[in-house]
Each structure stands twice: as C-alpha cells, then as structure tokens.
Structure 1
Amino acid sequence: MTWLVPLPVVVPLLGAAMTLMMSRAPRVQRLVSMTVLGLTLAVSGALLVTTAVKGPLVVAVGAWPAPLGIVLVADQLAALMLVVSTTMTLCVLIYSIGQGLADGASQAPVSVFHPTYLILTAGVTNAFLSGDLFNLYVGFEILLAASYVLLTLGGTENRIRAGTTYVVVSLLSSVVFLIAIGLVYSATGTLNLAQLVERLDMLPQGLRLTLQGMLLLAFGIKAAVFPLSAWLPDSYPTAIAPVTAVFAGLLTKIGVYAIIRTETLLFPGGRVATILMVVALFTLLVGILGAVAQSDIKRLLSFTLISHIGYMVFGVGLGSVAGLSGAIFYVVHHIMIQTTLFLVVGLIERYGGSTSLNRLGGLARLAPLLAVLFFVPALNLAGIPPFSGFLGKVALLEAGVVDGGLIAWTMVAGGAITSLLTLYATAKVWNLAFWRAPPPRMPGAASDAGASTPVLPVMMMAPTLVLVVVGVGLTLVAGPLFDFSADAATDLLSRTPYVEAVERGVTP
C-alpha cells in the first residue's frame, strides 16, 4: 500500500496542470478540480485506515536512500490531517464554484483560481507527508506561493496591501526556516527526520536549544502565535470568502503541525516546554481580547483564530499523551469550525452587503437558515457542551490539571477565561447581526420593503451546511477520534514506530 503515499501530492499537481491547460473551458476546470480533490480525499481515507492498522507507510522518492533522498511518511497524524484538510478544501472548492457562477466569475477568475488552488492543496499535503526538513520547507513554499496569488485575486487596493504584508512576513519566516535547515545540516549531516532523532541527541545542549529555537520561531510565525501574530488580522479578512476560509482554517494549522512534529520527534521535553506554555497563555488571552474589541465579523473571527491556536500549543507544551492527544483533537475541530464560520461570514456579506456589526441586523428573521448555519458552529467554537469544542477544551484542561505545575494551572485558568470570552464574542455577533432589528439600509428592513431580497446560491449554502454537519458529527465520533488521537500521540512521543518505519523504508 506504500504506492498510496505520494498520491495526495501527485494527484493535485497533475490536476493543476490539467486545469491550467483548460483555462478556456471553465466547466472542464470545475469538473477536474472536484474530481481531483475527491480522489485525494479517497486516497487520504485509505491511508488513514491503513496507518491505523499497519503503522506508518514510507516511500523513498526516486528510491534514493536517506540522507541523499527524500522520504514521504504517512503515519496516523499525517493521515488524519490529510483527511481533514482535503474534506475542508473540497467543500470550499464547491463553495467557490457556486460563488463564481453567481458572480460571473468576477470575484474568482476561473483560469487562475483552479490551478492555484490545487497547487496550494499539493503544498499542504506535501508538508503533512514530509519526512525531511528540506521537503517540509518545499511544501511550505509551494503553498505560500499559491497563497500569494489567491490572497490578491481581484487586485483591489486592500488585497494588494494585505498581500504585501503577508508576503513580507512569510518571506521572513521562510528565511529563518532556511537558516535553521542549514545549521541543522551543518551540525548533523542530514535533514531526514528519523536520522535527526539520534544525531540531535548527540549535540551539545546549547546547540540543540539554538536549533530548536530557530525552528520554533519559523513555525511560530506560520502558526500565528503571540507575539508573531500581528500580521494575520490585517491579511486574511481582505481576501474573497473561500480564500479567507482556507487560510483561516488550514494554513495556521500547518504551522501547528510542524511544531507538533518537530517538538515530539526531534526535541522531546526540555526547558522549551515551559516557554511554549507561556506563549500559549499570551496567545489565548491577547487574541481573545482583540476579538472582543472588534466590530467587524471577519476581524473578530481572525482574532479568535489567533486565540485558539493557544489551546493547541498548550497541549504540545504539556508533553504528555493526554495533552498531545487533546491538541490533535482540537486541531481537527478547529480546522472544521473556523472554516465553516468564515464561509458563513461570506454568506452574511453577500446577503447583508457588509460584515460590519454596525450595518447588520435582523438576520435571524430575514434568513433563518443562515442564522442556523452561524449559530451551531459559533456555539461549537465557544465550547458549549456537548459540541466538540467543549470536549477538546475539557481534554486539554484536564491534561493541565494532571500535570499539576503552576504554569499548567495558570494555563487552565487562562483557557477557561478564553472560552468564556469566546462565548461573549460570538454572542455579540449573534445579538447585533442576527437578533436586533435590521437597520433601514438592510434588505427586508421596514423602510426598505420594496428592495429585492438577495438570494443565496445553493452551491454556496450546501457545502457550508455539510461542514456544519461535519462539525456536529465530530461530537458523535468524539470517542473514536480521541482514541485515534491518543494512539497517534503515543507513537509521536515514543518516536520508535516512526524511526523504525523510515529505517526499513517499508510498512512495519
């Protein structure tokens, strides 16, 4: 079954080439894109089942042995991330197609969007499967190059300005990452993650700490942890709704994934764990305080995105099976919920003409289905029982209580406060945008009764509804998902299954 491993990277790249050649056949482009992501999802599902039963699958690209060659490794964590990310990107693709059809493709040029979107997908899957630091860097650069294009679609002044900020920050992160890669190779003679496990342990403690700090700095910028997150609220909200949803739901989690992978495999334990928890605490509190102060839904959700990254980093900092499994569960939850909410905000903007809370109102009466689509994931994000957000937060807070340290207890308190403030922020959106009477300029308002009411396209509503259902479904499968996350966390912390699988180059 090792032949399945490279397909999540190869299939989207082939699809990107095909859609680029079909730039004058929009219908064919749409069909190819959906087919490609459907196949990628099927392959990812097969990898998820196989890795759960047989363990990690390894492919040496070009049959070159490490450290000369690059390996792709599909373990339980990577396979789970592939399934979640591909499910999300497929739903967002359908949403974007619906938006393009409704707008006459004026907001998402078909000839550019589809190949770029598939290249972004290939970069994401390559990052998840990479068993080599340099290939991980390549995955980041692929998805970042594609994200530059997607972020500036439409060429408006705000998007160009936001894209410039995003490019500068991303290039800074890439430079730091590349310098770290050079130092790692100089010190160890390899960039293969499995080989680095042993070679890094033989380095002086000061050098190991320097390498670890540089990698954490690079990944921290990508994950938007405090104080490296100031760029995000000004960058993501300016893009079209599908792009914002993908960026918010997925791109920061790739940074979190890289932190999980390197911290557990290359630098387990140590003093940095304490720093991670302190960073997580500030990320939680600063992010959610920023959200509370916002009057625009997109910016409010962007700040909650930053805030909730803190929960994931907290789980990594604990360094226990319970903490790490809670972090993995929360990554899955947050990808789905954050993506769903940004898609809903796109529908709100389409219906109400704005995302400013000062210009919205009465949506619960004017668009009941839209209200439901927001209400359910908003409760999930806030951690209201019995949704997956509540379960994930409880798991992380319980892991903090078990740890028993002062910083862990402080994180538990910070996590609880953040959850309450998230509920306040989402309730603020509900009260102002959905519950109060609509302002005169809104469609359906009393003074504007003659105005036509906007129609929300089915191809935009349907994938949003699917993601809402998937988010609720996470609650129903929380038990098996927690068991799977615990198994993945156990393997990550033991490191043995990963290293032995790569050394053999075959399924163990």
Structure 2
Amino acid sequence: MVNPVLLLAVPMGLAFTVPVIERITGRVSRWVPVAAMLFNLVLCVRLIPAVLEGPVIVQLGGFVPPFGINLYVGPLGLFFAGLIALAGLVISVYSLTYIRTGPLARYHMLYILLLVGATGVALTGDLFNLFVFFEILCISSYALVAYNGDRAGLESSVKYLIQGSVGSSMLLVGIGMLYGIFGTLNMADIARSVGMVDQGVLFVPLIFMLGGLGVEAAIFPMNAWLPDAHSSAPSSISAVLSGIAIEVGLYAVARMVFTVFGISDLFLFLAFLGVLTLLIGEMCAFAQSNIKRMLAYSSIGQIGLILFALAVASGVTVTGGLFQFVNHTFSKGLLFLSAGYLIYRSGSMEISSLQGMGRRMPLTSLAFTVGSFSLVGLPPFAGFPGKFLIVRGALERGGTVIVVLTGLVLLCTILEGAYFFRVVQALYFREGISGGSGERAPAAAAVAMILLMMLILALGAYPQFAETFLRSAASDLMGAVEHVGSVL
C-alpha cells in the first residue's frame, strides 16, 4: 500500500522547486502543478481498496496516538483528497494558458501550496495540524487573490486577510481552550472524552472554533470577504476558492460537529443557519449584474444548502450533501472557468455585455450553460441526484421545522434558476454587442472545460457509481465511535 504522507510531501516538495525550474527552463514550470495534482489523483485511486477495508492511520515519527501527529485516511478524508486532486488537476490545465502574465513561478507555487493545505485539512487527525494546514491554505489564498496586482484585487486581498486573520485567531483560541480542558489535541482522544465533560464547559471553545472555521467556509454572517475576493481574483483562483477552499472549511465544521463534539443539540441551529445562508446567498446573487459577483454569492448559497443537508443528519441527507460537494466543485469550477474567457472576450464582467456570446464563443457558452443547469439541479446533470437526496431525506426525517426549511430550499432553487436563466438568455437569445477581444478559449482551457462537462454529465447519468463510495464517506463522518476505535 502507498503511504498517504506522499499526498502532502510530494506536492509540497514540488511547490518549492517551481522557482528553480522556472529559472532553469522557463515556462516548463507551469506544468509542475499539473504533475503534482496528477500524482495525488493516482495515489488517491490506489488508496481506495485499502480505505474501503478500514481507515488507514499514519503515525508520524513513530508516536502512537493520542501522542504525536497522525493522519486519518478514511472514506471521507480520501473523498475530499481525491476531489481536491481532480479539481486541482483540471484547473491547473486551464491555468496553462489562462495565466500568462505576472510572476508565474509565484502563482504556480502558491497554487500548489493552497491545494496542499486543503488536502492536509482533509486528512489530519489532530487539531494543531488542522490549524497549520488551514494557515497554509489561507495565506496562499490571500496572495493569489491579489495576483493581478490591480487596486480591486489588492483591496479584496486585504479584506480577506483581515477577516481570515480574525477567523484564524478564533480557531487558535478555541483549540487552546480544548487543550486546556482535555490535555490533548488528537481529535479521536477528545471525542472519546467529550462525554465526560459538562456540555456547558464546551460551549465557549465550540463557538470560537465554529466561528473561526465559519469564516473560511463562508457561512453567514462570516462571509463578507467572499464576493470581493472571488470577483477580483483570476478566474482560475475564483474556481479554486469556490470549489475547494470554502468547501474544505465546511468539511472542517462537519468534522468538529460530528466527530469531535458529537453534540446533536447543534443540528437544528445549524439547519437554520444553513437555510439562512442559502437564502441570503441566492437573493444577493439574483440582485447582481456582475457575473463573477453573481457566482460568488451563488457559492454562499450552495454552502448553505450543504450545511442544511449535513445538519439534518440522516444518512440520506448527508450522502446528498456530499454529492452536492462534488457537484458544486465541478459545476462552479466550470462556471468560473468559462466566465473567465467570456469576460476576456467581451471586455466586461457585466452580464449585459455577454449578449450574443453563444454564437461567438459556442463551446465556452455551452460550458457555462451546463454548469448553470447542473448547479440548479436539473436532470440529467450532476446537481439533480444530490438535491433529490437532500430533499427526500429531509422530508423523510419529518418534523414541522425541517419540512418548512425544506420548502425554503426549494424556493431558493427557483430563485437560483431565475438568475442563471438570465445569463443563458443573454448568451443565446439577445443580439450581440461589439467590443472586447476577438480571441477564443485556447486548447488547454477548452480541454479543462470539456473534462468538467463530461464529469458533470457522467455523474448525472450514473449517480450510483458515486453514491456507493459517498455512503461510506457519510458513515465515516457520522461514525464518531468507529473513528475513536480505529485511531486509539
């Protein structure tokens, strides 16, 4: 069996070789992220048989948990590591031609480090390294948001930095409090002891930790940084922030709630918070005329939907929520990547400037349309199975409050369809306006968009292939007792 540590060590090592490779060979350095993510994807596939037999626990330095550092590679962690590698690979292919100016070595190095941080969050088994990997992810993100060097990007990066620093401080304080209470930072060890402690004692560290993680997850009201950051960053980075970074933040929230604390009293509150985040995100997206800000607010809405699915806490809704993680990664990635060249061709981020692009850029417009339909949840796209499982599971769970919240979820889906239809209408059913660049998306970008469209259609047509593994991942998330038993 391959060592899961390689999922972190090899890409991190490659990241620091990028400046050297660029100095020696020039533009060959742009292929390093492709190689790093391809390596991780192959490794994740090779780990599947072992992980399905039982979680793979890696003890670093020879220290047996709860002492020392350990990686916990269960179905859920491997699912996220594989999703990060696959999305990171496709976006790095897109970046081959999309990122042409600026300090290219810096871009590719930070891009790899961002993905290493995200992978580390997915696989770590202790809270201190959760914080360390989050810092790697966040610091790389701050720099990449400002990569274009314009005023908007710099301002957005500073806003993100300030709010992210507050979130990081809250997370660190919460971790420190937990260490003071339990005398350990190992997640499984804390989960084993949490029932022996008065629940009131855990309230303050829980608030600090969820508040800190909620900033990166873009959960309302801690998401003010997101619209500016996503709209100002290069479109490739917008795709990573939306499809990977904030999802990893939500993954960490779920790990804390289900695995570490296991406090079921939180679930109804989180369901409310999820639907509130969904409502605010979709209403703000509907009000936008700037396409990247519309997509940014849409990401907030999707995070709210997934949070609601996880908080309902049935096997069906959690599986649907994990399916929606996949759909959002692929669909929102496709939307941002296609929007990047639509904006480049039209010369503007305004939706009105995209009129007639369906004829001028047919492949790119088709990619945006497929991403839109999938995110709304129309069959036969990848968004339909996930939303269907979420709604079905919530209604089966029952209860007046959950049923009302589910009705609001369906209402938000209609609102989501309305603002995406407005863009599709501009692309195909409005007369084009002159201006912008005459360049079409180059081959690398076209390959990336076609790959994402194929993945979306394949998952929509054959959801059962993904559902089998996602059920295992859902059981891994909800099985705190099994987690403790496998680690300690």
TM-score of the superposed pair, with normalisation by structure 2: 0.97
The one-letter code of the counterpart of 1:467 is L
Partner of 2:224: 230
Partner of 1:96: 95
Contact 1:30 1:114 in 2 (8 A): yes
User: C-alpha separation between the residues in 1 aligned to 2:274 and 2:424?
Assistant: 28
The one-letter code of the counterpart of 2:28 is V
Please state if 1:205 is matched with 2:214. Answer: no
Q: CA deviation at 1:278?
A: 0.8
Q: Which of these residues, 447, 456, 468, is aligned with residue 483 of structure 1?
A: 468
User: C-alpha separation between the residues in 1 aligned to 2:268 and 2:131?
Assistant: 26
Partner of 2:373: 379
The one-letter code of the counterpart of 1:495 is A
Q: Deviations over 1:387-426 (max 9, x none)?
A: 2212111111111111212221122111101111111010
Partner of 1:271: 265
- What pairs up with 1:357-436 in 2 under 5 angstroms? 357-436=351-430
Q: Which of these residues, 213, 236, 247, is aligned with residue 219 of structure 1?
A: 213
- What pairs up with 1:246-325 in 2 under 5 angstroms? 246-325=240-319
Q: CA deviation at 1:87?
A: 0.7
User: C-alpha separation between the residues in 2 aligned to 1:252 and 1:418?
Assistant: 20
Partner of 1:21: 20
User: C-alpha separation between the residues in 2 aligned to 1:10 and 1:477?
Assistant: 34
Q: CA deviation at 1:164?
A: 0.2
Please state if 1:458 is matched with 2:455. Answer: no
Q: CA deviation at 1:357?
A: 1.4
Please state if 1:159 is matched with 2:158. Answer: no
SS in 1 for 2:403: helix
Please state if 1:241 is matched with 2:241. Answer: no
Q: CA deviation at 1:113?
A: 1.2
SS in 1 for 2:210: helix
Q: Deviations over 1:153-184 (max 9, x none)?
A: 13111111000000001101100000000000
Partner of 1:191: 185
Provide the aligned C-alpha RMSD in A. Answer: 1.5
Q: Which of these residues, 452, 455, 464, is aligned with residue 470 of structure 1?
A: 455
User: C-alpha separation between the residues in 2 aligned to 1:367 and 1:13?
Assistant: 37
User: C-alpha separation between the residues in 2 aligned to 1:339 and 1:213?
Assistant: 31
Q: Deviations over 1:102-153 (max 9, x none)?
A: xxx31x4222111111111211111110000111111100111111221111
SS in 1 for 2:352: coil
Check 1:109–1:442 CA distance in 2 against 1; reply closer, same or farther (3 A cut).
closer
Contact 1:56 1:75 in 2 (8 A): yes
Q: Deviations over 1:169-216 (max 9, x none)?
A: 110110000000000000001110111111111110101233322222
Please state if 1:33 is matched with 2:33. Answer: yes
Q: CA deviation at 1:369?
A: 1.6
Partner of 1:10: 9
Please state if 1:493 is matched with 2:478. Answer: yes
User: C-alpha separation between the residues in 2 aligned to 1:411 and 1:26?
Assistant: 54
User: C-alpha separation between the residues in 2 aligned to 1:240 and 1:388?
Assistant: 26
Check 1:439–1:163 CA distance in 2 against 1; reply closer, same or farther (3 A cut).
same
Partner of 1:447: none
SS in 2 for 1:266: helix
Partner of 1:74: 73
Contact 1:41 1:87 in 2 (8 A): yes
- What pairs up with 1:102-181 in 2 under 5 angstroms? 105-106=100-101, 108-181=102-175
Q: Deviations over 1:53-88 (max 9, x none)?
A: x11101111112334311011100111111111111
SS in 1 for 2:58: strand
Contact 1:81 1:332 in 2 (8 A): no
User: C-alpha separation between the residues in 1 aligned to 2:436 and 2:219?
Assistant: 37
Contact 2:347 2:435 in 1 (8 A): no
SS in 1 for 2:174: helix
Partner of 2:50: 50
User: C-alpha separation between the residues in 2 aligned to 1:305 and 1:314?
Assistant: 14
SS in 1 for 2:209: helix
Q: Which of these residues, 329, 334, 349, is aligned with residue 340 of structure 1?
A: 334
SS in 2 for 1:384: coil
Check 1:269–1:476 CA distance in 2 against 1; reply closer, same or farther (3 A cut).
farther
User: C-alpha separation between the residues in 1 aligned to 2:368 and 2:469?
Assistant: 29
Contact 1:373 1:464 in 2 (8 A): yes
Contact 2:191 2:262 in 1 (8 A): no
Contact 1:40 1:86 in 2 (8 A): yes
User: C-alpha separation between the residues in 2 aligned to 1:116 and 1:371?
Assistant: 30
Q: CA deviation at 1:358?
A: 2.5
The gaps in structure 1 that reach 5 residues or longer are 444-452, 504-508
Runs of 4+ aligned residues of structure 1 deviating over 6 Å after TM superposition are: none
Q: CA deviation at 1:27?
A: 3.3
Contact 2:364 2:441 in 1 (8 A): no
SS in 2 for 1:355: coil
User: C-alpha separation between the residues in 2 aligned to 1:405 and 1:208?
Assistant: 28
Q: Between the two proteins, what is the percent identity of the paired residues?
A: 29
Q: CA deviation at 1:4?
A: 2.1
User: C-alpha separation between the residues in 2 aligned to 1:154 and 1:318?
Assistant: 41
The one-letter code of the counterpart of 2:161 is V
Check 1:17–1:375 CA distance in 2 against 1; reply closer, same or farther (3 A cut).
same
User: C-alpha separation between the residues in 1 aligned to 2:48 and 2:328?
Assistant: 19
The one-letter code of the counterpart of 1:398 is R
Contact 2:309 2:321 in 1 (8 A): yes
User: C-alpha separation between the residues in 2 aligned to 1:18 and 1:234?
Assistant: 31
Check 1:467–1:26 CA distance in 2 against 1; reply closer, same or farther (3 A cut).
farther
Partner of 2:60: 61
Contact 1:47 1:74 in 2 (8 A): no
The one-letter code of the counterpart of 1:176 is M
The one-letter code of the counterpart of 2:34 is M
Q: CA deviation at 1:23?
A: 2.9
SS in 1 for 2:353: coil
Q: CA deviation at 1:467?
A: 1.0
User: C-alpha separation between the residues in 2 aligned to 1:158 and 1:116?
Assistant: 20
Q: CA deviation at 1:442?
A: 5.6
